[in-house]
């Protein structure tokens, strides 16, 4: 790589010739404020917060200005500070500055910037445009255009990374707004509820549809038996909300906090992930042996499911009919568990803590019920659980309890890796091998499935049956789209495909703790959080789903066999074709 010499605030550095001034400044350890910039996702020089003096006629945006040999950059002059201040004051002048009640209070990048730039007054009046309506019709995502600062990070995430592309910038000038076409609600367009837009929003313009009040209500109701279950990825990230380093495995603190919040039972969705593997693994084998529709595609990610329903309706028969793990768990809790414990299922209230906003929509799907009762009554995100813990005054870092409750408390390492891209595939292979070959897979670490390549393809050889299982894993919907186009055209001939809607899988889900651009620009959250997940798998005594004693008992006492009649009724579902474009009014 060719290097060039540049000087930044008097510091001489050598940087790669294709760097921007912002990247060069980072090498020189000079901090330039940014707002719209998000590495690899949004590099458009729109907000003008990062302006610097490069000796040109006017100040230039460091995030897009390319370096050249001998470039001399100043980042801290009165002219620059004044320009940044004016820009920021103008942004603030038309921002809904209701900071105290804002969901992003203390985690807002605009707020931090105003503090860092010592903004103590705003000299400009906002426009007289009337307040724009709040879009809270979606089951998962709330959009507040009054807080939007038009940075376009969400647009780029939705359009370029996820290829969902349901939001964009509309109108022009003062009237500019980020919204779906024809000012439709997110609930009326092909939004898949992945929530990646929320994670990149620097302010409170995008947030999850809150359900904390509903959960407090249930906890206060003495007639209800309130059960909480936590998805694998939650433990890998919730510590961040309490100042723990990114990638800390906080399972024990989380379990203890949930018990302190007053839930009657604290269960692990990993248990249901093991159940999912039994069902999905069996489904895969049936399809291979009986000439069913292949490839079989996983159905754990509700963002992916809705994406498929809108964009690839011809592939709906390829989707596994398995409900996602937390829905399966809800159905089992309101049938088997209720029966076993002698509790009226209508008095059971199931709360799912998920790294995901799409799970909120999923739990509202009419087909997600057991004998007329919703499988899951409330879905809260990792962030929402953190707010409950804070509200209750629980000292998260000081409490510790390693045990999920009986009688549904066992989970294997195969269940926990559901939280990272490739994990469902890896867990399924561990069990499918046993089911097909009649013996255990010796090395359970299937490293081809792990890691952050957009699409991972590999073959597993099954010596006894002579099958060569062709597998593919995609994470992030842009990658999923590429893979599905190959499946649709017949170019790909896989047996089994895993798709997770979010880049990196659930560890980087739309309901996970939000890290500001300053962190995201330097640290790959997906990799760090996945480490915690694989750590927990390594630490597990049992690492194959079919070894889980709770699951073995469940089949022996209640379900009979995987994909049997009871399973079909409780644990499987169906999908619907959805339009890609909204209809008139």
Partner 1 sequence: MSKCGCTCSDAKEKQLQEIIEKYKNTEGALIPVLHEAQEVYGYLPLSVQSKIAEGLNVPLAEVYGVVTFYTQFSLYPKGAYKIQVCLGTACYVKGAALVLNELQKELGIEVGKCTEDGKFSLDACRCIGACGLAPVIMINDDVYGRLKPEDVKGIIQKYKDMTE
Q: 563: Cβ–Cβ under 8 A, 6 or more apart, which residues? A: 279, 282, 283, 286, 572
Closest to 432 (Cα-Cα) out of 494, 504, 499, 495:
495
Give the 3-state DSSP-derived string for 464-513, with helices as H, strands as E and coil as C.
CCCEEEEEEEEECHHHHHHHHHHHHHCCCCCCEEEEECCCCCHHHCCCCC
Q: Which of residues 187-226 bind partner 1 (CB under 8 A)?
A: 189
Is 520 a binder of partner 1 (CB under 8 A)?
no
Comparison of 165 and 244: residue with beta carbon closer to partner 1: 165
Sole binder of partner 1 in the list 90, 99, 150, 170 (CB under 8 A): 170
Is 44 a binder of partner 1 (CB under 8 A)?
no
Comparison of 184 and 249: residue with beta carbon closer to partner 1: 184
Least CB distance to partner 1 at residue 178 (A): 9
Closest to 487 (Cα-Cα) out of 318, 259, 258:
318
Contact 269, 363 (CB under 8 A): no
Least CB distance to partner 1 at residue 478 (A): 13
Tokens encoding 485: 């186009």
Pairing relation of β-strands 206-208 and 141-143? antiparallel
Binding part of the chain for partner 1, among 70-78, 179-187, 257-265, 423-431 by CB under 8 A, reads 179-187
Binding part of the chain for partner 1, among 217-225, 375-383, 564-572, 576-584 by CB under 8 A, reads 576-584
66 CB-contact burial (10 Å; exposed 0-12 / middle 13-18 / buried 19+): middle
Q: Is 506 annotated as catalytic?
A: yes
Q: Is 362 annotated as catalytic?
A: yes
Q: Is 359 annotated as catalytic?
A: yes
CA 133 from centroid of its chain's CA atoms: 26
Contact 456, 422 (CB under 8 A): yes
Comparison of 11 and 181: residue with beta carbon closer to partner 1: 181
Interface mask (CB under 8 A) for partner 1, residues 128-167, using x and -?
Answer: -------------------------------x-----xxx
Supply the DSSP symbol for 345: G
Is 124 a binder of partner 1 (CB under 8 A)?
no
Sole binder of partner 1 in the list 31, 79, 115, 171 (CB under 8 A): 171
Q: Is 19 annotated as catalytic?
A: no
Least CB distance to partner 1 at residue 181 (A): 4
Task: Name the catalytic one among 151, 154, 322, 506.
Answer: 506
Least CB distance to partner 1 at residue 584 (A): 5
Least CB distance to partner 1 at residue 175 (A): 8
Sole binder of partner 1 in the list 181, 244, 455, 462 (CB under 8 A): 181
Interface mask (CB under 8 A) for partner 1, residues 257-286, using x and -?
Answer: ------------------------------
In the three-class reduction of DSSP (H, G, I as helix; E, B as strand; rest coil), residue 400 is classed as coil
Checking phi first, is residue 102 left (phi over 0); if not, alpha (psi -120 to 50) or beta?
beta
Least CB distance to partner 1 at residue 160 (A): 11
Is 172 a binder of partner 1 (CB under 8 A)?
yes
* C-alpha Rg value of the chain to the nearest Å: 25
268, containing H or E segment = strand 265-268
Q: Is 300 annotated as catalytic?
A: yes
* Number of residues near partner 1 (by CB under 8 A): 18
527, containing H or E segment = helix 525-539
The residues pairing with 499 across neighbouring beta strands, listed in sequence order, are 474
Closest to 354 (Cα-Cα) out of 266, 246, 256, 233:
233
Comparison of 17 and 485: residue with beta carbon closer to partner 1: 485
Residues taking part in catalysis: 280, 283, 300, 320, 359, 362, 367, 506
Residues that bind partner 1 (CB under 8 A): 159, 165-172, 180-182, 189, 580-584
């Amino acid at each position: 790589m060719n290097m060039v010499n540049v000087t930044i605030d008097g510091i001489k550095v050598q940087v790669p010739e294709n760097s921007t001034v912002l990247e060069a400044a980072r090498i020189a350890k000079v901090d330039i404020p940014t707002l719209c910039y998000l590495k690899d996702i949004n590099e458009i020089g729109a907000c003008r917060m990062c302006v610097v003096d490069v000796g040109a006629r006017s100040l230039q945006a460091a995030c897009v200005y390319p370096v050249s040999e001998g470039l001399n950059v100043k980042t801290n002059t009165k002219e620059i500070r004044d320009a940044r201040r004016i820009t920021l004051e103008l942004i603030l002048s038309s921002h809904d500055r209701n900071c105290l009640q804002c969901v992003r209070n203390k985690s807002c990048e605009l707020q931090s910037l105003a503090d860092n730039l010592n903004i103590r007054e705003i000299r400009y009046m906002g426009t007289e445009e009337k307040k724009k309506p709040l879009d809270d019709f979606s089951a998962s995502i709330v959009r507040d255009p009054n807080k939007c600062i038009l940075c376009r990070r969400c647009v780029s995430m939705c359009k370029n990374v996820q290829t969902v592309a349901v939001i964009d910038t509309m109108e022009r000038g003062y009237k500019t707004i980020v919204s779906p076409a024809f000012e439709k609600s997110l609930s009326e367009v092909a939004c898949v509820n992945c929530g990646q837009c929320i994670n990149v929003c620097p302010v409170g313009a995008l947030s999850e549809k809150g359900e904390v009040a509903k959960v407090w209500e249930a906890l206060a109701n003495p007639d209800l038996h309130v059960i909480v279950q936590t998805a694998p990825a939650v433990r890998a990230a919730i510590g961040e909300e309490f100042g723990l380093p990114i990638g800390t495995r906080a399972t024990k603190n989380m379990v203890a906090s949930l018990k302190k919040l007053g839930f009657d039972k604290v269960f692990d969705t990993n248990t249901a992930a093991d159940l999912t593997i039994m069902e999905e693994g069996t489904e895969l084998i049936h399809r291979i042996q009986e000439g069913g529709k292949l490839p079989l595609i996983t159905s754990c990610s509700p963002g992916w499911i809705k994406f498929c329903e809108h964009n690839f309706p011809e592939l709906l028969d390829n989707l596994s009919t398995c409900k996602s793990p937390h829905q399966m768990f809800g159905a089992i809790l309101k049938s088997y568990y209720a029966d076993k414990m002698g509790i009226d299922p209508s008095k059971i209230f199931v709360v799912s803590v998920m790294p995901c906003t799409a799970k909120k929509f999923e739990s509202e799907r009419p087909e997600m019920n057991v004998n007329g009762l919703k499988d899951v009554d409330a879905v809260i995100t990792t962030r929402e659980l953190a707010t409950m813990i804070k509200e209750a005054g629980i000292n998260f870092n000081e409490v510790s309890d390693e045990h999920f409750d009986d009688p549904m408390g066992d989970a294997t390492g195969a269940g926990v890796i559901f939280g990272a891209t490739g994990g469902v595939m890896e867990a399924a292979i561990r069990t499918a091998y046993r089911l097909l070959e009649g013996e255990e897979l010796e090395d359970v670490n299937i490293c081809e499935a792990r890691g952050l390549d957009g699409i991972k393809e590999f073959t597993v050889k099954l010596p006894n049956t002579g099958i060569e299982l062709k597998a593919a894993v995609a994470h992030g919907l842009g990658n999923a789209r590429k893979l599905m186009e190959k499946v649709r055209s017949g170019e790909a001939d896989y047996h089994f495909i895993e798709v997770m809607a979010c880049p990196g899988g659930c560890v980087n889900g739309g309901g996970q703790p939000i890290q500001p651009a300053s962190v995201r620009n330097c640290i790959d959250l997906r990799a760090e959080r996945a480490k915690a997940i694989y750590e927990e798998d390594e630490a597990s005594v049992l690492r194959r789903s079919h070894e889980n004693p709770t699951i073995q008992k469940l089949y022996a006492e209640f379900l009979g066999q995987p994909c049997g009649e009871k399973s079909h009724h409780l644990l499987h579902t169906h999908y619907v074709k959805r339009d890609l474009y909204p209809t008139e009014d």
